[in-house]
A and B are shown apart, each in its own frame.
Chain A
């Protein structure tokens, strides 16, 4: 795509950019570089992180949380976006607005709402109790990594819907009709015609929400407290407790950043690759 070149000389652009760049350097690059310096200048910091038995348990908890939350969010978000792409534009605009609401919510709002709905004395817990479901067992799920996945999907599903919706709205549905007239069942048509065209966007959405949930601790802290073993909460405990091992905390912070960035990068590379080679939708 060719674009008209700007009239502005290079020096003017640099001057315009400099205040913003200065703020980003002071409040972003400097803190991050300090974390890296703290971790790398102490040769034993990474070894102490990996030797801590908490680390593997937290990594496992984070992996379960991330896989469950990202997969569930992708499946639900895709189905909702598919439904929205098939209804009239007015309804679609209204439902999109409602579905996007959680994107501006603080992680705390929903934590307390979920306790009211699914906690030990929650409405849903008690309704299920009438059907014979043990309330203590049901409420216990909410405070496990799987339960946290159920709660954090609240913020992730809207992101998936917003990414998938444009692709699905622009998808030419006569292709499905053509496949079906050639003898494919509706299911086969979806699987072999629609899915290949949207899978790059789906992978990008999966990576994005996986990176978000892997690095977040707000909802988890409000819902369960620091007892839950996931990496961001382990880091939070190490940072907020006085007299703890800061170089090891810095090493853990680098590990966390590395995993989130890698997951994001996979999604970005997939998106760039899809834009160049994949079928445009």
Chain B
């Protein structure tokens, strides 16, 4: 079985390695590997007006998505956990599956229909884009949070705190929030990574001035190889940063549970 893992890892990392090599290669035309070393492609992406704007749009949309997800996700997760009824649990289970059961292209089409109407003429605005990212990422955050609440037996902790005389607000501030900070952090890192890389909904929903990075990146594929590689590696670096941060948070969280 080891050889399958080996071949699989080669399949996994060959495209990434070629992107990095290509982004530093001066000329790459029909040869196996590029010739010459340069950083001019990164400079070209950095000074490109539409890439600059897209980069900041992506970061802002990502930040807004994380904040809104946290603000509405935490109370919703708490409500799902607290409602012990079977119906709520089934509804939550369906909610977790929705991002896959309803393809993003279908949701995007729904956005086109709803937000280009006369009553809600907001298609192309950053707000609608953030709304889309929120519903695409919220299920992942909820699943992480509710899972952690069950794992920690949060209700028992609360009962203990209140039987010792803590009021609901104090329990929330001193028991609930501190217990959940690791799963909230790792859930939000996942949300950030998904939002930064999101293409399928944004491609149809974003306006000309609110196009996020992946949507602009697609145009670069038709240009010079080095430029396309450098522009892709930047997105790759953001995703890798998020993955590493997520793994470190999860590592610290398991350390905490083991104590």
Residues of A within 8 A of B (CB): 3-8, 10, 13-14, 16-17, 19-21, 23-24, 26-28, 30-32, 34-35, 38, 76, 79-80, 82-84, 86, 95, 97-102, 104-117, 121, 123-124, 126-127, 154, 157, 208, 211-212, 214-218, 221-222, 232, 235-236, 239-240, 246, 249-250, 253, 256-257, 260-261, 264-265, 268
Residues of A within 8 A of B173 (CB): none
Interface pairs A-B: 10 shortest CB-CB: A113-B15, A31-B110, A215-B103, A106-B197, A20-B76, A104-B193, A16-B75, A83-B1, A6-B82, A17-B79
The one of A16, A79, A105, A236 in contact with B197, judged by C-beta atoms closer than 8 angstroms, is: A105
Cα A100 to Cα B194 with chains together (Å): 13
A226 to B199, CA, bound (A): 16
Q: Are A121 and B218 in contact (CB under 8 A)?
A: no
List the B side residues contacting A232 at CB < 8 Å. Answer: 103, 105
Query: Do A20 and B138 form a contact, CB below 8 Å, given A3-B84, A106-B235, A257-B102?
Result: yes
Whether B97 pairs with A97 at a CB distance below 8 angstroms is: no
Contact A260 B100 (CB under 8 A): yes
Judge if B229 is at the interface, Cβ distance under 8 Å.
Answer: yes
Residues A116 and B100 in contact in the complex (CB < 8 Å), given A6-B84, A35-B113, A38-B113: no
- Given the contacts A27-B135, A104-B194, A112-B221, A7 and B108 also touching, CB distance less than 8 Å: no
Check: B150 CB closer than 8 A to any chain A CB: yes
Residues of B within 8 A of A116 (CB): 15, 18-19, 22, 225, 229
Q: Is the CB of B19 within 8 A of A27?
A: no
Report whether B135 and A23 are in contact in the complex, using a CB–CB cutoff of 8 Å: yes
B residues neighboring A (CB under 8 Å): 1-2, 4-5, 8-9, 11-12, 14-16, 18-19, 22, 29-33, 68, 71-73, 75-76, 78-84, 93, 95, 97-98, 100-114, 131-132, 134-135, 138, 150, 153, 155-156, 158-159, 162, 190, 193-194, 196-200, 203-204, 214, 217-218, 221, 225, 228-229, 232, 235-236, 239-240, 242-243, 246-247
* Extra 12 A-B pairs, beta carbons < 8 Å, given A8-B82, A104-B246: A5-B84, A17-B75, A20-B138, A24-B95, A30-B114, A99-B8, A107-B197, A110-B15, A121-B30, A218-B199, A236-B105, A264-B101
- In contact, B135 and A239 (Cβ under 8 angstroms): no
Write the nearest CB–CB distance from A83 to chain B, whole angstroms: 4
Q: In the assembled complex, which residues on chain A have CB atoms less than 8 Å from the CB atom of B113?
A: 31, 34-35, 38, 246, 250
Q: How far is the CB of B51 from chain A (nearest CB, A)?
A: 14
Chain A CB within 10 Å — which of B5, B9, B138 has the most?
A: B5
A127 to B114 CA separation, bound complex (whole angstroms): 50
B228 touches A112 (CB 8 A): yes
Q: How far is the CA of A256 from the CA of B101 in the complex (A)?
A: 9
Contact of B105 among A97, A113, A124, A217 (CB under 8 A): A217
Inside 8 A of B196's CB, which chain A residues have their CB?
A: 106
